[in-house]
Amino acid sequence: MSDGRIQRRNSMKIKAAVVFEKGQPFEIRELELDAPKAGEVLVKVAACGVCHTDEVARQQIIPVPLPAVFGHEGCGVVEDVGPGVTEFKKGDRVGFSYGYCGVCEACRTGHTYGCEENRRLNFFGLQFDGTKRLRTEDKEVSSFFGQAAFATHAVVHVHNLIRVPDGVELELVGPLGCGIQTGAGAVLNYLKPDPASAVIITGCGPVGLSAVMAAKIAGCTTIIACDVVDSRLEMARELGATHTINSKNVDSVVNEVKKLTRIGTNYAIDCTGIGACVRQSLNCVRSLGTCVVLGATQELTIHVENELMGAGKKLVGIVEGCSVPQIFIPQLLEYYKKGMFPFDRLITYYDFEDISRAFEDTHKGKVIKAILRMPE
């Protein structure tokens, strides 16, 4: 302004769970949230899933500028829209997923999960236009995945949004935006297995169990679930696994797999994020088979000739289940409504104020998929 006065941005006060320093607990604070800008909407958050990726970022294994509000599996009801938004209106029910630019080669060819701007839009703490919407005491706060859904309200770009159809409980939809679509998509979008094939899925958390359900949908005749928690292996059986292996109770998972399949599985999906487990999964795969890595694994050492190239195997890392959320999540909801994808069996609800307990219970394996319900 020409007279030197500072024009305040339109904003509202919200409650959000903030992390100020690496590894520190969540602190529920009052923040200011700016109004939506071009291409954005303001959403009253109904619920948000608790995901391992939030914890990885809180510990700065994936560095996200702090302070930050995490939460990237949100859902809610649109309260306002920014300039130029025509596809959503006040009152629409929406789920959130990852951000993408929409103009790079990957996006233009229908591979939004491989967007050239993936890191910037999801892990740099910025909104689509490169700025931030959250503040505390005049200090800007990062938004994880362009959502910051561990909050009562969020400003989200339209690229992150999925319309929720009638007849589906809104609070269920959030977890589909990351972990559940990752596990299911690894099977249905990437591997697309032949019904006569065999697959081993290691790590029976929400990602792995979603892969189990998807493998059943795909008709795989041999679905092996591997974990160290018997209750999770029992759940895997109920959801479609034909065999289970508790790796604590056997000398060699690879040998157990070969007893079941003679020469190994066609496919392996590793959801653990543990290098030794990825190597084990790779060695469970037969010649010309494929091992998919879904966990945020760091370092891995393999003998390339003996374990990979010599047998013509593939070791592949994929992002978000190779899913275009606006297409794949409605498909998963159709499977759910038909009783083919009962992901609601994985879920335990917590009040927003109990966010620390939700993370602790998840870490200890007391629950499979925690969802935070926001206050009315």
Looking only at the bridges linking them, the beta strands covering 222-227 and 93-96 are: unpaired
Mean of the pLDDT values across residues 346-365? 95
Q: What is the pLDDT of residues 273-293, one digit of tens each?
A: 899 999 999 999 999 999 999
pLDDT score recorded for residue 6? 34
Residue % of the chain over a pLDDT of 70: 98
Q: Could you tell me which of 47, 59, 144 has the C-alpha nearest to residue 94?
A: 47
Residue 167 has pLDDT above 90, yes or no: no
pLDDT band for 10, please (50, 70, 90 cuts): confident
- C-alpha 89/C-alpha 72 separation (Å) is 21
Residue 295 has pLDDT above 90, yes or no: no
**Residues with Cβ within 8 Å of residue 108, at least 6 apart in sequence:** none
Q: Which domains are present in the chain?
A: 11-177+342-373 (3.90.180.10), 182-319 (3.40.50.720)
Contact 117, 98 (CB under 8 A): no
**Residues with Cβ within 8 Å of residue 304, at least 6 apart in sequence:** none
Q: What is the pLDDT of residues 175-195, one digit of tens each?
A: 999 999 999 999 999 999 999
pLDDT score recorded for residue 108? 97
- C-alpha 367/C-alpha 171 separation (Å) is 17
Element (H, E) at 361: helix 355-363
DSSP letter assigned to residue 113:
G
Phi, psi dihedral angles at 196 (to 5 degrees): -85, 5
pLDDT score recorded for residue 15? 97
Residue 5 has pLDDT above 90, yes or no: no
CA 28 to chain centre: 23
DSSP 151-208: BSEEEEEGGGEEEPPTTS-HHHHGGGGTHHHHHHHIIIIII---TT-EEEEE--SHHH
3-class SS of residue 114? helix
Angle at 137 between CA 7 and CA 19, to 5 degrees: 130
Q: What is the pLDDT of residues 121-141, one digit of tens each?
A: 999 999 999 999 999 987 999
Specify the amino acid at residue 3: D
Mean of the pLDDT values across residues 203-225? 97
Contact 227, 364 (CB under 8 A): no
Q: Could you tell me which of 42, 38, 49 has the C-alpha nearest to residue 14?
A: 42
User: Tokens 């393999």 map to which residue?
Assistant: 302
**Residues with Cβ within 8 Å of residue 255, at least 6 apart in sequence:** none
pLDDT score recorded for residue 326? 96
pLDDT score recorded for residue 298? 83
Kindly report the pTM of this predicted structure.
Answer: 0.93
Contact 168, 333 (CB under 8 A): yes
Q: What is the pLDDT of residues 235-267, one digit of tens each?
A: 999 999 999 999 999 999 999 999 999 999 999
